[in-house]
Every structure is written in C-alpha cells, then in structure tokens.
Chain A
Amino acid sequence: MKYVIIPNDIDELDFYKEKGIDTFIIGLEHYAINYPTASLEKIQELSQKYSLFISVNKNIFNSELEDVKNQLIELSKLSIQGVLFYDLGILNMVQENRISIDLVWHQTHMVTNYNTCNYYYEKGVKTAFLANEITLEEMLEIKKKSKIKCMVEVFGYPIMSHSRRKLLTNYMKSIGKEKEARTYLLKEQDNTYRLKETEDGASILSGKLINGTKPLFSLIPNQIDYLVLDMQEVDRKIGKQVIDTYLYLFKNIDKIDSQEQEEIIQKMNAIIGNHTNFFYQKTIYKVKGDKNEK
C-alpha cells in the first residue's frame, strides 16, 4: 500500500519526495484530462528519478489513434508503474500490438463494481482507479472480491463532469467577453464548483476537498493498494498538513486509539472541511423523495 500524488505542477515532485512520497500520476501531454501533463521526453526524464503512473484518460478520436499508439509504445520502453486509460481503444491497441505496459482502468465514474474489475483483470488490466462516487463499503467489497489492485482518491477536488464543449469560452462569447483564467468558480445555492477549460473541453470539479481522514482508518487496514492525493489547486500549506497527517496515519494506524482518531479527524476537519464525498453517502436513482435526496 502506498500514497500516490497528483501534483499541481510537475516541477514540484521533489517537494513531495522530500516528504516521503515518491509515486506520482501525471498526464501525457495532449491526452490527459484533469492532470498536470508532460511531454514524452519530459516523462522519460522524470521516470529516471520518480515512480510514475501516466494518465492517458482522454476520449481518443480516430485522428489521434496512430499518435497515441506510438506514444504508448514509447512509454512501454520506460520504467513507469503503468498507464491509466479511459478509452477502451487504448486497451485494444495494447492488446493488438502486444505493447508491454501495465494498464490501470481509469474510467472515472464507471469503476463501480467488482464484477467489471474482474472482467478487466482477466483482460490483463491489473489495477483499477475506483470511482469517487461509490461508498467506502463498496470499495472494500471490490477489494475483497476482486484480484485487481485498487486506487482510491482520498484527497483533492473530485472531478464531476467533462465535456468536449468549450463551455467557458462559449459563455464568455455570449456576454461579449474573453476568459481571463482557466478556472472560474461557479455557485449554486450554497455550493461552489470549479469550472476548468483546456484544449480538450471543459470540466467541472467539486468545490469541496475530499477529506479522506476517517476513511483511511478503514482503507489502510484493508490494504487498498494506492491512496491518491490530488494536489491540483490545493494551497501548498494545506497540502503539506494533509500529507503529514496521512503519513502519520499510515505509519501509526495500529497504535492510534479511538480518542486520538477522533482528535485527528477533528483537526483535519478544521483544516480542509468535513466533506467525505460519497464514502458514507449512498446515491439514489429511482425513488423520488428519498431521504438521501438533496
């Protein structure tokens, strides 16, 4: 079991390494959504110093297939931990071209059950990045009933949606302005969201940081393989406090009694808020007026 960092910027990997975390996820330039990206050449350089997962989690279009295939071949020559994929075309290209690379199933919101994890495992995919929208109980059941290694995000602003449309540019055009930043805050009732736009379209992220402190008391003992901290757009000072606490939990989880556990949770709630995302909250989909409906 280890922590994995999605850095805010690829230039800050040493900061995390000095803190004791040396495994990172970064995106492949032009082919990653909601990751800091690097070119193949830069990844080659970084891979000699750090343990890297490379995200290629964009929807791929026909015109991009040849380039993606070639880049996968080049990535397979590097010493990296694996490639996170969204598009099943990547799985097909890896299979058909016998590209020797470890794949991580990373279909964002769709990694939700152990049967499908087992299905991919049989296809040679050894790791799954579980959806942020399932409960802790569901995650632990997947871990228990599947051979696949599991990644779980325990900190960061979770991505909610991604569009090919340039939603921010389009909006600005509608009001006769140009966008001045890549990220804007949206507000609806008391909730805040983050709208980001890149060359690949627009993403909306939650405005609340996932606080995984309490879930870690279950995730660590249950040997979840990779616990992911997404540091994108997180204040460096807050990020440092989170890392210190999470590392402390990792080293001392067996020794922490219930009183200290509660103190740690309260301390972290004060720093990053008490939003545990869907770890303890089941979504509904059928019954109108359900008590879980917001």
Chain B
Amino acid sequence: MRKKIELLSPAGDLGRLKIALLYGADAVYIGGQNYSLRANATNFSIEEMKEACDFAHHLGKKVYQTVNIVFHNEDIDGIYDYLKQAVDAGIDAFIVSDPFIISYIKKNFPKVEVHVSTQNSTTNIETVKFFQKEGVDRVVPARELSKEEIKEIIDATGLDIEVFIHGAMCTFYSGRCTLSNYVTNRDSNRGGCSQVCRFAFDIENQDKKFTMATKDLNLARYIQDMIEIGVASLKVEGRMRSHYYLATVMSSYRKIIDACYDGTLTEELLEQQEKILSRVANRETSTHYFTHMADDTDQYYTGRQELSNQDFLAYVIDYDATNQIVTISERNYFEPGTDVEIFMPSGKVISFTIDKIYNENMHEIEKACHPEEILKLKVNSVVEKDSMMRIKI
C-alpha cells in the first residue's frame, strides 16, 4: 500500500516553519545560510535548523534543506562542514541540483536522503533513471510536465516523485535562465534571481510592452489525480511568503488531501478551498503544463500584476476560556460589524461578526487600525493558539 501523499511547504524562517507544520504540512523545505536558491531570504542558522528539526520531528514531520545552487569553483570550500552541521542538526534530506553534490552527499552522509531539485529540469524517464542509479531518493521534475508524463515516469521508475502544486512559476526552464545575470548581474543559479521575467520590455515595431510573466500555479482541483498516479509529495512554492499565506495554503491543501483519502471530497469543498486560495494569492492562477501545453492564457501582458489584499486581520496570541476572551495582534483594519472568521491549526473555522473591540487593558476602542497592536475580542468558541483571523470568505 502506498504511503499517504506528503504535503510539503516552504519555510523562510523558523516562525514560518512552525506555522506551516502546525497548519498541516507533513514536511518543510528550508534554506541554510549558503548554497540555497533564495540567497536573499532570511534562511536558517545551524541553531535554528536544529530547533526546526526538533520541532518537526516532535510532530512526526520532516525538514528538507535546499543545497540546490549551481556550484562555482569557489563554492565547494567548506561544503563538508556545512553539510555535516546540517546532518547533525537533524535534516532529513538535502534538495540538490548539481550531480557532483549528489554523489558527494551519498558518499559522505549515506543515511541522509537526496532529492533532485526542479532546478535540474528533469523532463523524462531516462533522466530519472540516471539519478536513480546515482542513489537519489526523490526527483522533483520540471514544471513543464503533464499529468501523463509524470505518471509515465512514476510507472517506469518507481522512484518518489515530488510535484509542484501551488505558487509562482518560472517563465523559463529552471536552470536554463540567466536573464538575471545579464540584466542585473545577479546570479540566478546561485540564489540571486531578480525576476527579470516580470519586467516589461519594449519590442521592435510594436506599441505595447512585451511581457512574459506567468500566472501562478494552482492545482487544488487535481490532488485526487496526483494521488491516483502515485505522486509521493506535493510541493508548494514560496520560501519568502508570509505566515498568513502559508497557514492559509497549508490549511486548504490539508483539507483537500484528507478529504481525498477519507472519501469526503465534494465539489462544494473544492470550490470553497479554491476561493480561499484565490483570496490569498496576489496573482491569477492557472494549471499550466499539468493539464495543457502552456499557452497565451497562462501569462500576463500588462506588466506587473501583483495585488495585495487586507484579508488577514489578526494573529491569535491567546485564548482565555474562562472569560471567553481572545487576545490578538492586529494586522489589518477592522471595526465592529466586520464579518470575520478565525481559522485554526486543527482546520477548524469559526465565523462571527465583530461586536466590540478592546485594547490590552480591556477598554473598548472604536476600530482596530494599528498593525501589531494587542487587542482583545469576546469569542464564545474555543480558539486555538496560533489561529488567524481574516475577513469572512
């Protein structure tokens, strides 16, 4: 019998890691201080990595570390100590792209899993077999593959395959783009990508700017398909995304996955979760290559299309069950009369209309309008710690 499909979340720092795991991720992937393709994210120190692994392992979950840069000569100095420290901290797997590093890890740290990054843009059975011979435990194929192509790989190799299901997409094949190097002198294959694919260019003989930015990926409706074809892990993109984003996305996918397994997946549930996911996204989404050869409908043509919303109203710090008072840290404006919902790490959601808002000293105030201000609300139901309050969706 196949293992239950894994939900894999990004985590840019320790706080995000904890939120992702609490809200339903089975595993997280993180970057250390070096060798990761998000060089400008906060990333993890060794001490934080150890705390992250302890936290995850305590919950029966896993932590993977990205070491997926394209190495230059100078980068190899100190790699042994770097990897050793991560192994000692408890990392469960390294996500790598350079085949030399695959063999290096397998030779020096044989007990740690090695996953091949999508940076390698693996597109076929033979390439997966190549990595299989090298001893890798999992491959993250290119995001340019269809459901049928992924299934063929799984059927032919039996190797664990991890598939991106949600988040930003590269316009170009991963690893096959150095626009950032040429336009901004930042090395895209060593974590410095400046997202030149989201710039607007003049194009000869045309009035309208040329853009090539893609819509984000959203495969919420295809989780059942992923399970059926034998995908091992579902990956969400976005190590630099917020706590609220991670909580929302993990919570939604957790519900969909669990519903697939316990036979309770309904159109209503899918529609509700898609609605929630679309609210937290800052771009439009598409299913891209998983369902069709990507075409003009998968791109933007009018420059940057990044919308922000103010759905996230507050972070729950504490709940006083005796007095039925929830203590929150404000994030966005709300006032009495606002319809809200609190969603919790367990998946529970409660909806209500804001009645009265109190400050930290239980003095009633007219509105919540100062980010990070500590406020209190009366809520009749039990609210879990680390819950989040948002506009009712």
Interface size on B, residues (CB 8 A): 72
By a CB distance below 8 angstroms, the chain A residues around B185 are 281, 283-284, 292-294
Assess the A60–B126 pair: CB atoms within 8 A.
yes
Residue of B nearest to A177 (CB): B206
The contact string, 1 if C-beta is below 8 Å from chain A, for chain B 113-146, is: 0000000111111110111010000000010110
9 CB-based A-B contacts, threshold 8 Å: A59-B173, A88-B130, A112-B189, A118-B100, A120-B99, A160-B181, A187-B201, A281-B185, A286-B39
By a CB distance below 8 angstroms, the chain A residues around B201 are 186-188, 193
Q: How near does chain B come to A106, taking the closest CB pair, in angstroms?
A: 12
B59 interface contact, C-beta 8 A:
no
Residue of B nearest to A142 (CB): B73
Assess the A115–B129 pair: CB atoms within 8 A.
no
B42 interface contact, C-beta 8 A:
no
Given known pairs A65-B126, A91-B130, the reply for A161 and B71 (CB within 8 Å) is: no
Identify A116's interface contact among B98, B153, B179, B296, CB under 8 A.
B98
Assess the B192–A115 pair: CB atoms within 8 A.
no
The contact string, 1 if C-beta is below 8 Å from chain A, for chain B 203-216, is: 11110101110100
Chain A CB within 10 Å, residue with most, of B70, B190, B206: B70
Assess the A163–B186 pair: CB atoms within 8 A.
no
Assess the A285–B186 pair: CB atoms within 8 A.
yes
Identify A61's interface contact among B72, B149, B171, B203, CB under 8 A.
B149
Q: Is the interface of B mostly helix, strand, loop or mixed?
A: mixed
Given known pairs A170-B295, A171-B210, the reply for A92 and B73 (CB within 8 Å) is: no
Q: How near does chain A come to B202, taking the closest CB pair, in angstroms?
A: 4
Q: How near does chain B come to A105, taking the closest CB pair, in angstroms?
A: 10
The contact string, 1 if C-beta is below 8 Å from chain A, for chain B 12-52, is: 00000000000000000000000000011000000000000
Assess the A119–B99 pair: CB atoms within 8 A.
yes
The contact string, 1 if C-beta is below 8 Å from chain A, for chain B 183-195, is: 1111101111000
Residues of A within 8 A of B (CB): 59-62, 64-65, 87-93, 96, 107-110, 112-116, 118-120, 133-134, 138, 141-142, 145, 158, 160-167, 169-171, 173-175, 177, 184-188, 191, 193, 195, 202, 204, 206, 278, 281, 283-286, 288, 292-294
Identify A160's interface contact among B39, B99, B182, CB under 8 A.
B182
B1 interface contact, C-beta 8 A:
no
In whole angstroms, how far apart are the Cα atoms of A278 and B204 in the complex?
27
Assess the B192–A284 pair: CB atoms within 8 A.
yes
Q: How near does chain A come to B12, taking the closest CB pair, in angstroms?
A: 15
By a CB distance below 8 angstroms, the chain A residues around B301 are 171, 174-175
Assess the B192–A62 pair: CB atoms within 8 A.
no
The contact string, 1 if C-beta is below 8 Å from chain A, for chain B 261-291, is: 0000000000000000000000000000100
By a CB distance below 8 angstroms, the chain B residues around A120 are 99
In whole angstroms, how far apart are the Cα atoms of A90 and B125 in the complex?
11
Identify B179's interface contact among A91, A107, A161, CB under 8 A.
A161
Given known pairs A164-B173, A188-B183, A283-B192, the reply for A169 and B39 (CB within 8 Å) is: no
Identify B299's interface contact among A91, A110, A165, A206, CB under 8 A.
A165
Assess the B172–A191 pair: CB atoms within 8 A.
no
B103 interface contact, C-beta 8 A:
yes
Q: How near does chain A come to B121, taking the closest CB pair, in angstroms?
A: 6
By a CB distance below 8 angstroms, the chain A residues around B40 are 286, 288
B75 interface contact, C-beta 8 A:
yes
Given contact pairs A59-B144, A115-B104, enumerate 14 new A-B contacts (beta carbons under 8 Å): A60-B126, A62-B149, A89-B123, A89-B125, A96-B126, A107-B175, A115-B71, A118-B100, A162-B177, A164-B173, A165-B212, A184-B203, A187-B204, A293-B185
By a CB distance below 8 angstroms, the chain A residues around B80 are none
By a CB distance below 8 angstroms, the chain A residues around B120 are 88
Residue of B nearest to A191 (CB): B183
By a CB distance below 8 angstroms, the chain A residues around B177 are 109, 160-163
Identify B70's interface contact among A93, A96, A110, A174, CB under 8 A.
A110
Identify B210's interface contact among A110, A113, A186, CB under 8 A.
A186
Q: How near does chain B come to A160, taking the closest CB pair, in angstroms?
A: 5
The contact string, 1 if C-beta is below 8 Å from chain A, for chain B 343-355, is: 0000000000000
In whole angstroms, how far apart are the Cα atoms of A109 and B72 in the complex?
11
- A-B CB proximity, top 6 nearest: A285-B192, A89-B126, A170-B296, A283-B187, A161-B177, A92-B130
By a CB distance below 8 angstroms, the chain A residues around B175 are 107, 109-110
Assess the B71–A113 pair: CB atoms within 8 A.
yes
B294 interface contact, C-beta 8 A:
yes
B298 interface contact, C-beta 8 A:
yes
In whole angstroms, how far apart are the Cα atoms of A87 and B70 in the complex?
16
Given known pairs A109-B189, A184-B204, the reply for A88 and B153 (CB within 8 Å) is: no
Chain B CB within 10 Å, residue with most, of A59, A88, A107, A185: A88
Assess the A286–B191 pair: CB atoms within 8 A.
yes
Assess the B212–A167 pair: CB atoms within 8 A.
yes
Within 8 A of A (CB), among B133-170: 133, 142, 144-145, 149, 152-153
Residue of B nearest to A63 (CB): B149
Chain A CB within 10 Å, residue with most, of B171, B181, B211: B181
In whole angstroms, how far apart are the Cα atoms of A110 and B71 in the complex?
8
In whole angstroms, how far apart are the Cα atoms of A201 and B307 in the complex?
29
Assess the A61–B126 pair: CB atoms within 8 A.
no
Assess the B192–A59 pair: CB atoms within 8 A.
no
In whole angstroms, how far apart are the Cα atoms of A254 and B295 in the complex?
55
B178 interface contact, C-beta 8 A:
yes
By a CB distance below 8 angstroms, the chain B residues around A134 are 72
Residue of B nearest to A64 (CB): B124
Residue of A nearest to B299 (CB): A170
Residue of B nearest to A166 (CB): B295
In whole angstroms, how far apart are the Cα atoms of A108 and B175 in the complex?
9
Assess the B126–A93 pair: CB atoms within 8 A.
yes
In whole angstroms, how far apart are the Cα atoms of A187 and B210 in the complex?
9
Chain A CB within 10 Å, residue with most, of B104, B182, B298: B182
By a CB distance below 8 angstroms, the chain B residues around A64 are 124
B176 interface contact, C-beta 8 A:
yes
